[in-house]
Structure 1
Amino acid sequence: MNNIDITTEAGPVHDYRDNPFGLVYEYPITENKSGEVNIHPVTYTLRGLKIAANVYTPAGYDPNGSYPAITVAHPNGGTKEQVAGRYAQLLAERGCITIAADAAYQGHSEGMPRNVDKPFFRTDDIHGMVDFLAGFPGFPGVDVDRISALGICGGGGYTLNAAKVDKRFKSVATVSMFNSGLVRRNGLQDSQVDSIQERLRQSAQARADEAVGETTVTYAGDADLTDEQIAAQPFPLYRQGYEYYWKTHACPGSSFKYTMSSLFDLMRWDATDQLDLIDVPLLMIAGSDSDTRYMSDEAIPKATGTEDKELFLLDGAQHIETYWVDEYVNAAIDKLTEFYGRTV
């Protein structure tokens, strides 16, 4: 498997400089046209930080109307201009107001040091999207009684976490859910169990250094791999992920790296803890062939607070392929449209 030619599987190369909104996903908006889906770059303040987001409005949008709304949380290392934006645009085409925001400390949102990836912040970012849409004055046209959530990859795990307590969500869905705590602790498919204690010591030292004002921030996941090194990665998630984030859909602010001190919080957290608190309809979408499918498989039975739950498999799809391959993205959107149509 390590010898497959992933370059030919990665799709066309998109350049953020070719799009006025910096979008790098397939079939992006290139200009706002009357009567069509439009994109609205916005900023708002959360925990004292300026958050950068894109709001998508449906064709024929009337600010005085009443529309269902969906928050879209991006993957670990991702930005709003990549897959989160694609799903947000497609759902807007189906009649929803959607928002995709860069997580605090990531993308174009504020926060120092850069690339902090802690469960509290990532979860609160999702609450913050709801605050912006449904607060005062809120975004025009949003029906506060019809707000739902979507999370992709790591954003899926954090969206599950948000939905446990945020009862403003009337339903919740994930695509290729990635349980960040589980993987940072045990490694993908339990491949790093033997090094848990050593990585905990590293994270504790990184936090200690930051506490005394060390100017150098230590990062994990920061690498500049050659094509040969990418092809040698042991999992399709990482091989295809490097292609997606570093080549075909590269975008400013998108990075695999995260502060080593983030592990201090991540490794004692799990997206599937207390899933019984979710009492609204739940849809989890995953690729049938994905090396991360087991995370959705394990989550569904734990969601005992709702009987309206489903694991929907995209036949033949790998994790990253649910981001950009038309066949899989369109199937996911069709399923999401049916789900949101009956739940919000």
Structure 2
Amino acid sequence: MKTMNLTTAAITALFGIGLLAGCTNSTTNQKTSDNMKTLNLTQEWDKTFPQSDKVNHSKVTFVNRYGIMLAADMYVPKDASGKLPAIAVCGPFGAVKEQAAGLYAQIMAERGFLTVAFDPSYTGESGGEPRYVVSPDINTEDFSAAVDFLATNDKVDSEQIGIIGICGWGGLAINAAAADPRIKATIASTMYDMSRVSANGYFDTNDNAEARNAFRKTLAAQRTEDFRNGFPKPGGGVPDELPADAPQFFKDYHAYYKTPRGYHKRSLNSNQGRNATEAIPFINFPLMSRADEIENAVLIIHGEKAHSRYFGEDVFKKLKGDNKELMIIPGANHTDLYDNLTVIPFDKLEAFFRLNF
């Protein structure tokens, strides 16, 4: 993979790791307290993709192990009968369920699966305070909480549950599969390893203690400032205008998050981004540390031209067993696997789950 001479701030700004301008918490997302009060969920169809007439859609909620109530869209095939195989979907990192995750979930429901696309803790319509923080532990738990919901649903075959993680949630899906054997099959689509990119920068250009310690000092200073101000500083999502020398993958993100193709008012990447200190837990939390112990099936999918391809290829090398696959889509870039229906291999996704359930 060709390396790029980009500063840590520049290459990580998109994910809220770099410290960009911002000042206030958004009020667009509903809040919930630890007593698990009911979330006020949007009932209108506000997705970035058209509603299918082949599935029934409804809003559902479930609570994770930390007491945070998660909001999800559930899609059920209209011609369904008996107990169904089920899939939980999340991602990309900084997106909401009304974007790529919902698209995947709806199409897989059209193919006979009961699916849920959920907002992670602290994000979108899900609960959790403060808003827009991330946690490799809690966000991995979010996948298992979705499995809890599916495994106890009377429409679901509890022995046929899988997950799909997109972009940064692909890495979290791998971590969830290592932790939760109820997940019979896992797909990581156009995945990021958020621990690796947080600790090392893109293409590992800052993989040294000196760079990490300098980054830690910046993050620590921001923590102090956040505490003094009484609220966390947003890290900045995809900027409205890109610099002339922006890498192509930044341009690809802009073409998705900042245009009608993928913009959503609750999407952090489309707007103010996650909190500027989000990298803190990921730097010291190796998501892939137990990937070699996953016994159930895993499929990793990347575009041939995706800047993120090295994440998936390197994780695939760690996986063991004859039920692990790596699929490279010719000519595709990273964001093509968000919503490009001519590129996303849904026939393969369906066949993979049916083979491994």
> Given the two structures, how large is their TM-score scaled by the length of structure 2?
0.81
Match of 1:88 in 2: 105
Whether 2:177 is the aligned partner of 1:159: answer: no
Contact preservation (8 Å) 1:151, 1:157 = yes
Match of 1:249 in 2: 262
Contact preservation (8 Å) 1:165, 1:277 = no
Cα 1:139–1:291, aligned 2, differ >3 Å: closer, same or farther? same
Contact preservation (8 Å) 2:87, 2:161 = yes
Cα distance, 1:87 vs structure 2? 0.7
Contact preservation (8 Å) 1:152, 1:174 = yes
Q: Distance in 2 between matches of 1:108 and 1:23?
A: 13
Whether 2:44 is the aligned partner of 1:20: answer: yes
Cα distance, 1:272 vs structure 2? 2.0
The DSSP-based 3-state class of the residue aligned with 2:69 is: strand
Cα distance, 1:280 vs structure 2? 0.8
Q: 1:337 aligns with which of 331, 339, 350?
A: 350
RMSD: 2.0
The DSSP-based 3-state class of the residue aligned with 2:158 is: strand
Q: 2:71 aligns with which of 31, 40, 52?
A: 52
Per-residue CA distance 1:273-312 (angstroms, 9 max, x = gap): 22112111111111011110011110011012x2211101
Contact preservation (8 Å) 1:107, 1:252 = no
Q: 2:59 aligns with which of 41, 55, 66?
A: 41
Q: Distance in 1 between matches of 2:69 and 2:124?
A: 12
Identity over aligned pairs, percent: 31
Cα distance, 1:209 vs structure 2? 5.1
Q: Distance in 2 between matches of 1:222 and 1:283?
A: 29
Q: Distance in 2 between matches of 1:334 and 1:303?
A: 23
Match of 1:99 in 2: 116
1:1-344 equivalences under 5 Å are: 20-25=44-49, 28-29=50-51, 36-46=54-64, 47-62=66-81, 65-134=82-151, 138-193=152-207, 195-208=211-224, 214-222=229-237, 224-226=239-241, 228-229=242-243, 232-234=245-247, 236-247=248-259, 248-256=261-269, 257-304=273-320, 306-329=321-344, 332-344=345-357
Q: Distance in 2 between matches of 1:334 and 1:74?
A: 20
Contact preservation (8 Å) 2:238, 2:258 = no
* 37-46 or 152-161: bigger deviation: 37-46
Contact preservation (8 Å) 1:29, 1:38 = no
Structure 2 letter corresponding to 1:338 = A
The DSSP-based 3-state class of the residue aligned with 2:343 is: helix
Cα distance, 1:246 vs structure 2? 2.0
Per-residue CA distance 1:195-236 (angstroms, 9 max, x = gap): 4322211223344555x564131333446331x42x5322x3
Q: Distance in 2 between matches of 1:213 and 1:42?
A: 37
Contact preservation (8 Å) 2:91, 2:101 = yes
Per-residue CA distance 1:171-201 (angstroms, 9 max, x = gap): 1111101111111122222344574322211
Contact preservation (8 Å) 1:53, 1:100 = yes
Cα distance, 1:238 vs structure 2? 1.9
Contact preservation (8 Å) 1:70, 1:148 = yes
* 261-270 or 285-294: bigger deviation: 261-270
Q: Distance in 1 between matches of 2:173 and 2:194?
A: 12
The DSSP-based 3-state class of the residue aligned with 2:342 is: helix
Structure 2 letter corresponding to 1:145 = E
> Aligned residues, how many?
308
Cα distance, 1:237 vs structure 2? 2.6
Q: Distance in 1 between matches of 2:238 and 2:231?
A: 17
Cα 1:265–1:87, aligned 2, differ >3 Å: closer, same or farther? same
